[in-house]
Structure formats: structure tokens, C-alpha cells
Structure 1
Amino acid sequence: MDRKKVVALEDRLPQLKKERKQKANRRFAFYASVFFLLILVVVYFQSPLSKVHSVTVKGEQIVSGVKVIKTSGISNKTHIWDIRKKAVEKKIESLPTVQSATVEKKFPNQVLIKIKEYDRKAYLQKNGNYYPILQNGAILSKLQKGKMPVDAPVLFGFSKSAALKNVAEGLDTISRQMTHNISDIHYIGKSGSGDDLILYMNDGNKVVASTRTFVQNIKLYPEIAANLPKGKHGTVHLSVGTYFIPSDAGQESNQQDGQ
């Protein structure tokens, strides 16, 4: 029995040596791969390949992509691994037209910037020029000569930023259809009753409102207008209380007084 065991072990020695050699080779290949991978990483970080090759901007409508890239601080001298996404996004969101920004790094050297801009809600008329107003109340550069505002109400007489911001925020709460129904909004300022806004509607009505309650109350207009007598136009009051005065109410009152 002892001889058989000894012979069996001797027979297995070549196989054991072979297995040990294979394990050593695999271990060597693994360490060599890790070593060369580290060399490649170091070479990549130190080479021009790690510098930003291209920056793509998506979602821009008002602000130019060039301005977004310039504000981000990313250039062809920036190393891709040196970009701090949150810090760059914060820089881009400092632009008055940008509501939010997302920065994505794409291997090996590309950057994608996605932005969401504030909507254009109105135009401020000033000295014969028209300035787009965003939903956050920001005022953009005037429209080019010959261009007229057609997709949002025109604001007249606004000189206070707080009143402008209230109106812009109020317009942001209503539907696009409702916005298109407003022709222009006039700020009349010092009013004893607190009603400092007059809106002229494309449906023939006039709306008297207050900047203090505009955000809450302008949403009530569609329902009020839908319940007005057919063919009747007049003034809708939307401040402390909501009520409607027909356009011919004054005429009827004068006729009765004459009789």
C-alpha cells in the first residue's frame, strides 16, 4: 500500500509543477496588466488627450452657447479630470436666463452642458424699444430693430423691479392660451384702492388688478370670463374681491338718470 502511494505521488509531480507554473504565469499577467494600466492612466492624465477637446451645449434658446461655455470657465486648456461639475453648474446658473444646468463629462475629452432656460413671459416697452421679460423678472437686451413682440403681452409704465417681478411670476402661473389672450398690461402706480394694474384683453374685456395679489388672482380670469353673459364685455376686477362691470352699465345708468 505504501509503495502504491509513493508511486502515485511521483506520477502526479509533473502535473503539480505544471499547475504551479500556470498559476505563476496568471499572477504575472495580472500584475503586468495592472502595471501597464497604471502607466496608461498616468500617461493619459499628463498628455494633451486629457485636455477638453470639445464642449457641446444643449437647450439654449435665448442665451448663446458661446456665452454658456465662457461662463462655465471650461476651455481647451482645462483637464477633463479637473472639472468640478457642481461648481461649473453653479456658475452657469448665475446667468439670468438659465434656470438649471447639468454638466456631463464624456471620456476621453468631451463635455456636454445641458441647460433649461426661464420662459419669456412678456415684453417691456421703454423709449420705443421692447425688452423681453423672463418668468423670474429678468430683463433681456432689447429686440432688434423691426422685430415686434407677438408671443407675449407688452408691459407699459413699469419702473419698479418688484412690480415687474410680480407680474412675470403671475404670468408664469397661467396657460399659454391665457397669456396670448392678454394684449398689454399697464402699471398705473399710485392708486388709493391698491389697484395698480390694468390689463387689456384680446377678448374685449379689461381687467383691473393689484401687483400684490396678481400671482394668486390672475388664475381666476378664465373661469370668470367663461361665465360672463354671452356677448357682454366690460371690466373684471381682480384684487381684493372679484366682480364684473359691463361696458354698457354706465350708459344705462345715464339713461335712467335722464328719465
Structure 2
Amino acid sequence: MSFKINRDKSKRHVAITPWEKYQSEERQRAAKKTNRVQRIGAKLPRLKQQKHRRLAQRMSILIGIFGILLLISGYYVSPLSHIGKITVDGNHALTDRQVVKVSGIDHGDSIYQVVGKEQKLSQRVKNSNSRVKQISFSIAHFNQLTIRVKEYPTAGFVPANGYYRVALTSGVISKERQKQPTGSYPVYDRFKSPKQLSQMIKQYAKLSKKIQTGISEIQFSPTKADPQRVHLYMNDGNEVYASISTFASKMAYYPSIAAKMSHKGIVNLEVGAYSYSF
């Protein structure tokens, strides 16, 4: 009699003890920890390089800032930040010293009293001196100041308490005064109204240079018929009557009228234009 033993070829499920399970889990955790340490160790050199690079960048920025502050501080205490030379250009009636004085800027002053304040300085100068029409300030070569001036020309003289005050082409009577008139400018006399005097000066300023230098004196001489009449004494010996409002346009004809006169006399430009001998 024979017996056949059937063997089960499938895998058997073997039960593990709690201790074996614990050891297996510990080995897995240790392996993960080892892998993590290895990854961190691989990254560590790169992290150190990045840290050193950031530190170097921060140090460079700090050194740059301190360097700039040091340069600025050095510049402020150096002669380059103070005006070393002043040049005045364009002035005629005003001297260089007068322009510098009226500007309020002098040698040794900080250039920052000028830089960024040019317009304010210009307005202050024009308000303080009626002779100044335009004025500008510019800095070159760190600390060299140039002041450019444009003046109102002289238009004559006005008697005032034993002196003569200077009339400007703007119609303003300046604070300048002198004992005697100078140059080929007329004297304005007997004007009671500052407004009428200003109008007369502005009319005179419109004349050609040739006619201007031919006038010796302008007197205010109103009448009922012409409350704006003026009486002129010419350097050529003639006299002229004209009206302030039409003075410039009518005086343009004076040279041709005077050339036709056979004797010295009166040229009347109030209404029309005609002449007659004394």
C-alpha cells in the first residue's frame, strides 16, 4: 500500500513577534535618518558658499555707503565746496563789486547758497536794484561762480534836492544819484506826476540813438488844450513842443524837419508837424 503526500507549494505566512517588528521599524528609521544626514551633508558646502557670498555682498554695500559718506564729508570741508572765484559779465553802469554785493554771495560762501536757488537769488537782486533787468548765476569747475547781468540803460537824469537821480529806460527812477548829469542824456524837469514822468521816459526809450543824443532837456509844460505837453531843448539849438502820448512816433520826423529849417526855431509836433523860426 502506498501513501501520496500532497505538499502545499504556496508560501506560508509566518507570524513575527512584537520585538522583531520593533527592530524592523528601528532599522527603517535609522536608514531614513542616515539618508537625511547624507543629503544635508551634501548640501552643507553649497550653503556655506551662499552664506559667504551674502556676507561679502553686505560688507561691500556697507563699505560703499561709508565710502560715499566719507567722500561727501570730505567735500563739504574742502575748499571745492566753497566759492573760490567770482566773475561778473554783462554789466556796464554797475561795477563788479556792486553786482557781487547786491547778489549777497561772496568768496568763501558755500556753493549750496547758489545751487538750486538761482531763481530766488535772481528775484531778490531785481527787487533790491532797479538797474538790474536780468541776472543769472552758474557754477563751473566745482566752485567758480559766474554772474551774468543785463541792465536797464540810463534814460536821463531827474533833479532832486541838489542832486540828479538816474532815470532808467524801464521808466523807473533809480536810487542812484550824482552831482551833475553825465553823458548825452536829457534832464527831465518840472514833472509833478511820477506816472507822467515814467510815461515820458518810456517814450524817450523808443527813440533812435541819434535822436536821443540830440535832446538836452525835457520840461513838462502842460496847457489847457494839451495837458500832456512837453517842451524840449535840443542840442542843435532848436526847441520842440510835443505831447507825451505821441512823443516817440512824432519825434521820428524831427531830423528831416530840422534839416529843412533855414534858421533855428520851434518845431511843433503836438498836432501835425510844422516849424517856424524864433
Of the three residues 143, 147, 152, the one matched with 2:178 is 143
Gaps of 5+ in 2: 1-62
Which position in structure 2 is the counterpart of 1:243? 273
Q: Which amino acid aligns with 1:175?
A: S
The answer to whether the 8 Å contact 1:100/1:117 transfers is yes
Helix, strand or coil for the counterpart of 2:245? coil
User: Which stretch of the first structure deviates more once superposed, 53-62 or 103-112?
Assistant: 53-62
Which position in structure 2 is the counterpart of 1:60? 91
* Aligned mates of 1:109, 1:137 — CA distance in 2: 37
Of the three residues 225, 241, 247, the one matched with 1:208 is 241
Gaps of 5+ in 1: 1-31, 249-259
The answer to whether the 8 Å contact 2:157/2:181 transfers is no
Which position in structure 2 is the counterpart of 1:167? 200
User: Displacement, 1:103?
Assistant: 1.1
The answer to whether the 8 Å contact 2:165/2:177 transfers is yes
Q: Which amino acid aligns with 1:54?
A: K
Equivalent residues in 2 for 1:66-215, closer than 5 Å: 66-76=97-107, 78-83=109-114, 84-94=117-127, 95-140=129-174, 141-144=176-179, 147-215=180-248
The answer to whether the 8 Å contact 1:151/1:180 transfers is yes
Which position in structure 1 is the counterpart of 2:265? 234
TM-score by length of 2: 0.65
* Aligned mates of 2:254, 2:65 — CA distance in 1: 69
Flag the structure with larger Rg: 2
Helix, strand or coil for the counterpart of 1:222? helix
The answer to whether the 8 Å contact 1:98/1:118 transfers is yes
Q: Cα distance 1:126–1:42, how it changes in 2: closer, same or farther (>3 A)? A: closer
TM-score by length of 1: 0.69
Q: Cα distance 1:35–1:225, how it changes in 2: closer, same or farther (>3 A)? A: farther
Question: Once the two structures are aligned, what percentage of the paired residues are identical?
Answer: 28
Q: Cα distance 1:77–1:127, how it changes in 2: closer, same or farther (>3 A)? A: closer
Alpha-carbon displacement from aligned partner over 1:209-249 (angstroms, at most 9, x marks no partner): 112222433333224334x24x143322223x32213126x
Helix, strand or coil for the counterpart of 1:121? strand
Q: Which amino acid aligns with 2:119?
A: K
Count of matched residue positions in the alignment of Structure 1 and Structure 2: 214
Alpha-carbon displacement from aligned partner over 1:37-57 (angstroms, at most 9, x marks no partner): 775355314545312223332
The answer to whether the 8 Å contact 1:166/1:214 transfers is no
* Aligned mates of 1:34, 1:126 — CA distance in 2: 64
Helix, strand or coil for the counterpart of 1:166? helix
Which position in structure 1 is the counterpart of 2:52? none
The answer to whether the 8 Å contact 1:99/1:118 transfers is yes
Which position in structure 2 is the counterpart of 1:49? 80
* Aligned mates of 1:52, 1:211 — CA distance in 2: 49
Q: Cα distance 1:223–1:35, how it changes in 2: closer, same or farther (>3 A)? A: farther
Q: Which amino acid aligns with 2:272?
A: T
